[in-house]
Homo-oligomer: A and B are copies of this chain.
């Protein structure tokens, strides 16, 4: 069973929840906008389906809804921000604002964040830069679910990289990718359907290639982009490591296997070497490199040339990164966002618990 809800409906519901757990009005607005951007762009796994997860983190005392988000170290083009255990959705937004203010002044701004938690989809933070004709970048580390090449142990999160690049007449280029072959959600879908998974997605608890969709649940791990050494998994591992180091070692957050988990029922790792989860945000003013006019003209030309690349036999078209998500968003603005039954039930249970009106009403 699946029903659709307008952005307005979802937004009112979500904001009420964030207000109820103690966010001020402005933070509740930001958290709502950032969280729902995932649903609007078709990344269901990172949107409103996680709302009750954030509330559980708050109940467990792992999230501070009245944080004092502050710069603890800076230069003209850099800063380290302490998120004070605030919602990552809000902390990353504030950190990106700082990166953009620095870019305004000296061309680029780079902010590494500690003491935060999950920030929603990386892409939305990178896309903030577009409004100011800047290139935006966003990364975050996450709790360990991925095994480096040749490792049996889970050492890294799905550690995404997002890069948003403005264009002139064309829609912006928005890359937003986990540094794994696939998201864990794809294994869950296969598990429900009782089908096997392709080689290169995951390994079992001994570190051997597996096509069992339940292998990760049973102690295995997701694999870095590339899948195995023959297909370049050491490259995905390296990229994921860079995300971990930029987000957490540079800021003083907890890194590698010590990154704090999102589910509140999972105990925090022991002997954490840093504070909370880490993010890395960057902004580069386009006109810090060349005139906006020339950049936009070339960027439009780049996008058009790639859109018009001859498709492979049997394919319809070549996509520009961010195009499928932008098309989904345009459609959902009209049709509303489809939510599956279990998500609606979970949200309405949450509303009941918090004494708020249900989503359906």
Contact = CB atoms under 8 A, between A and B. Distances in A.
Given A76-B106, A245-B165, A302-B249, A238 B150 contact: no
Contacts of A251: 289-290
B198 A230 contact: yes
Interface stretch (A27-35, A50-58, A307-315): A307-315
Interface string A204-241: 00111000000000000000011100111011111101
A274 interface: yes
Nearest to A107: B75
Contacts of A310: 151-153, 207
A163 B246 CA distance: 11
A177 B312 contact: no
Given A152-B313, A207-B311, A317-B150, A175 B242 contact: yes
Contacts of A163: 238, 242
Given A241-B321, A256-B306, A273-B301, A313 B249 contact: no
A251 B291 CA distance: 10
Interface in A283-322: 284-286, 288-290, 294-295, 298-299, 301-302, 305-306, 309-319, 321
A112 interface: yes
A108 B244 CA distance: 19
Given A107-B76, A290-B73, A241 B173 contact: yes
Contacts of A238: 163, 175, 177, 321
A206 B153 contact: no
A237 to B, nearest CB: 7
Nearest to A242: B163
Contacts of A77: 76-77, 106-108, 288
Nearest to A156: B306
Contacts of A295: 249-250
Contacts of A285: 75, 78
Interface string A166-181: 0000000101011111
Contacts of A301: 273
A194 B16 CA distance: 65
A36 interface: no
Contacts of A261: none
A257 interface: yes
A182 interface: yes
A184 interface: no
Nearest to A312: B207
A204 B76 CA distance: 50
A203 interface: yes
Contacts of A314: 208
A138 interface: no
Interface of A: 73, 75-78, 80, 106-108, 110, 112, 135, 147-153, 155, 161, 163, 165, 173, 175, 177-182, 198, 200-201, 203, 206-208, 225-227, 230-232, 234-239, 241-242, 244-245, 249-252, 255-257, 273-274, 284-286, 288-290, 294-295, 298-299, 301-302, 305-306, 309-319, 321
Given A152-B309, A225-B235, 8 more contacts: A75-B106, A77-B106, A148-B309, A151-B309, A177-B232, A198-B231, A237-B321, A273-B298
